[in-house]
Structure 1
Amino acid sequence: MAELDTSGGGKGKGGKVRSKKQSTRVDLTAMVDLAFLLITFFMLTTTLAKPQAMDLAMPDKEKQDQQELTIADNRTMTILLGANNRIEWYMGLVDKPLTPPQVDNYGRNGIRKALIENAKKVIATTGDPSKGLIVLIKPSDQSNYRNFVDILDEMKVTNIDRYAIVEISDPDIALLKRDGIYK
């Protein structure tokens, strides 16, 4: 390996005698050990990602005297979670929907657009912002956990605070099968 001679021994150009300089060597072993100790310390003491959680109010299972609420059909939007990350939604009841059932996907141009439009229509119809859209979310056994989290995220993004998670019924499953998003 080539070395650089930093010694200044011998005579220079002017004929002056210069003193011989010792070459300096710095041992970096201790510095490398210190660097690895610091890296290990900071890796163990920092949090890489904080868990995110959404508050969800669930009804009390032990209450026996739960009441059934009657809600106007024009305020109710039902979202069915099907297979292959697909959604089907309609306004009203499954027996007599106010809008024809539509198959959609998640995202800005999918269910989010439908939620925003229907929320505006309901407020325009009722004339009272406190009587806004109520969404019924019905996950099927063909949907996965990510679909459920995605639809709850859409509720948060669109500022819809009235929604319920309901068991899916047989007519809803028949609707999903008819449109090919239930196997």
Structure 2
Amino acid sequence: MAQLQEKKNPGKGSGKRARSRGFHLDMTPMVDLASLLLTFFILTTTFARLQTMEINMPTAQGPDTPIPGKNALNIVLDGEDKVYYYFGFPGDAPEVKQTDLSTTGIRQVLLGEQVKGNPNLVVLVKATAGSRFKNLVDALDELKITDTRKYALVELREEDRALLATR
């Protein structure tokens, strides 16, 4: 622990002089305590957990549920971060509009009256071969932010490609 070391100062004369005392502090127990506390706090702390989104996908044997055209919003993710969207199905010759994945883009569409005013609306998310995985994750994030409950990841069909080509 701590030790006091006394040093005698030989002096001339008969008077008593004050003795100087050396002080030595052993830091070994303090280092042990610090390492134990550090180990304890590292092992008992909870680190930031990854945030995941659970997606329940239908089975391949499940029946296809037809969706009326008035209840379908198609979001097509394309290369260069472009997003096309239209209401209805390609056979109905809908108006295709272009936007992006920003807060003033697809989020405003998902928060719009046509989407929020229809409780039966299903958002169909489709991706072209030129889109990136990041675009799909961003689109799913926007669906989560806007509290969209009904959505599905769907393959891009030939009718969709033809509709986008005529745009």
Q: TM range, normalised to the smaller chain?
A: 0.7 to 0.9
Partner AA of 1:90 in structure 2 = Y
Q: How many residues in Structure 1 have an aligned counterpart in Structure 2?
A: 157
Distance 1:67 1:102, change over 3 A: closer
2:135 to 143, 147, 167: 147
Matches within 5 A, 1:1-150: 17=16, 19-63=18-62, 66-71=63-68, 73-98=69-94, 100-117=95-112, 120-122=113-115, 124=117, 130-131=119-120, 133-150=121-138
1:48-86 CA-partner distances (Å, limit 9, x unpaired): 2112222222112244xx134141x23321001111232
How much has 1:176 moved relative to structure 2? 5.0
Partner AA of 1:80 in structure 2 = V
Is contact 2:123–2:152 with CA below 8 Å preserved after alignment? Answer: yes
Distance 1:174 1:26, change over 3 A: farther
Cα RMSD after superposing both structures: 3.0
Find the residue that maps to 1:90 and give its secondary structure. Answer: strand
Is contact 1:89–1:103 with CA below 8 Å preserved after alignment? Answer: yes
Structure 2 Cα separation of the partners of residues 178 and 36 of structure 1: 69
Structure 1 Cα separation of the partners of residues 31 and 166 of structure 2: 67
How much has 1:154 moved relative to structure 2? 1.1
Q: So what's the TM-score if we normalise by structure 2?
A: 0.74
1:125-153 CA-partner distances (Å, limit 9, x unpaired): xxxx543x221101223223322222112
Distance 1:76 1:62, change over 3 A: closer
How much has 1:41 moved relative to structure 2? 4.2
**Gaps in structure 1 of 5+ consecutive residues:** 1-6, 11-15
How much has 1:20 moved relative to structure 2? 1.5
Find the residue that maps to 2:22 and give its secondary structure. Answer: coil
Q: So what's the TM-score if we normalise by structure 1?
A: 0.68
Aligned residues: percent identity? 33
Structure 2 Cα separation of the partners of residues 123 and 113 of structure 1: 11
**Gaps in structure 2 of 5+ consecutive residues:** 1-6
Match of 1:3 in 2: none
Higher strand residue share: 2
How much has 1:33 moved relative to structure 2? 4.6
